Structure 1
Amino acid sequence: MLITVLLVIASLSCLLTWLLRRYALASSLMDIPNERSSHSVPTPRGGGMAIVVCFILAVLGLALLGQVDSAIAFALCGAGGLVAVIGFLDDHGHIAARWRLLGHFAAAGWALFWLGGLPAISLFGTLVDLGWFGHLLAAIYLVWLLNLYNFMDGIDGIASVEAICVCIGGALLYAWLGDTHGALLTVLALAAAMLGFLIWNFPPARIFMGDAGSGFLGITLGVLSLQAAAASPELLWAWLILLGVFIVDATYTLLRRLLRGDRVYEAHRSHAYQYASRHYGRHLPVTMAVTAINLLWLLPIALWVGFGGVDGAIGLLIAYLPLVFLAARFKAGALETK
């Protein structure tokens, strides 16, 4: 039964992506290459709305059947839906950065209200409750994650395979430790929706997800990570490890650009994955390398942490050190030479 449901979600996502591609072509909703692009062919955008619609419908259906806790459903659908609408409007026109940011914090606040804020976190074997400061950090974390996901969605398939790999890791953790409030079904539903979209987004991509899809994925994965932390404090570390490729590249790049005095809100193509794609001349090797890093390096460490084999902070350090090296190796945040 579960396999059938997941196949239906994936199939619906694939069909909706096809319809959105036709709509984008008819409406001239195209991503036109420029000097800051990592692609060379005009490509339809906005396909991420297929992920949004399929996942929200799946979560609402699971909640109505009593398989997902209603508070989790409200957090995911409300926050994700608001971010997706903001992104959809921005894809079709332009929304000033300050208004987008205000909407992002409103979405984060909505999610944290239903989640009960940041739960106590495990730090070297000790549970630490940060109180109101923790809730503020959680809001900043959610807003940063949804924006970094947008920054990292710059080459074919990379954001899609990242989300699928993270969901695989989350599903394995829940399968081993026990489902909590429908968390296993939720991450599987997201993976299925992503798989349907990836059929159209795999290199060479025939449609991009756009800001609506990338922002939605960022805040959704962030909310799921906080839900995991509420189930077991070590799981937050495990989710941060699973998200390591995107977190390290985006954060390393941002810090380097801030130190240089760049306008960080302006578009650029100085992430490590963008330098790597230009180095290899194609998107596919980089997307596949990200998949390999996720499944062969980050996933085993995340499971090691989640199963209690090593402290979460230590596991995070072990997981991130090679990623920092790769970010430096591929000049993340460096000025691009003309």
Structure 2
Amino acid sequence: MRRAGVGAGRLSARLASRYWNKRKAFCGLHQIRSVVSVPEICQPVHSVSREEFRKLAFDTCKPLVMRGDTPPGTISKWFQFDAQGRACATPYLSQFGRTSLVQYELLRDSPESVGGLEAFRSWLEAKDRELAAYIEQSEESLLHIHAPLALFLNALEYNSSSPKPVTQIYIAQVPLSELPAMLQGDLPAPEVVKSAGRGDIYNSSIWLGLEPTYTSWHRDPNPNLFSQLHSSKKVRMLPPNAGQAIFRQVQARLGRSGNAHIRGYEMMYGEEREALQEAIWSSSAPGEIQETRLDAGDSLFIPKGWWHSIKSVAGDGRLNCSVNWWFR
């Protein structure tokens, strides 16, 4: 292993300076948008005091972005990256691959995604037939499977060398409480989550996906702090009444009456997802809709009842990782 000398230290300092200058520039330029920007502060969530958080966001029920200065340390503990930014699991994370069972969403909504998943399954079958068996041969466009974390880690390995990566494998909304204790310990709740309200953390989730990832228009019954750990996501949101109006308009047009609190099939695939995506993400979206981009280290407070949709910025099969806490 090479020892880091003075040159390496200077390079590290230059990279750190470049990263922070980019973040500061982003904080300024982010306001020049065709949609309304979510209010933000150039301050990472872990350094925001309880009093400041309550004043700016929690007590006023207003969304707030807290910009991070560096990517979270959890990511370097869980993943390592090559020169092209492709991820593989570290030995630390790999030790939990077989013992941790998680819920997956596998979306096959195009010939490319179907072919990618089949190619990955064939590759995995030659390596680990037991693990490959979790990927069902099915005509369904959306598959839900309960499988070891190792399935996702193998998909990362496959994508690190495949010219046609597998995409849209998503460990979505898996409670942190279902992870091994050591992994839970790597994702402590920020102080504002523990102290801003009554101290009741209602639930928390990890989101690990191979881009593109997408969550349709919905609202949460409790305040939500959403933190981006790796790669980038865009969020669009509206306050309760305005967001409800859009949802009802789409439901009426489709002749339905859906539940916007449950991550159901309609939310993730089919004409309802497409209609909501058009209503929220197209140029015809309402002018008052608020938008932000979250990069690694950024956090977003989503007030209770605020409607929102979240999607990855990229779509080339690379790792996207987020975590959130619902609290009150």
TM-score by length of 1: 0.27
- Identify, as 1 or 2, the structure richer in strand: 2
TM-score by length of 2: 0.27
- Which one has the largest radius of gyration? 2
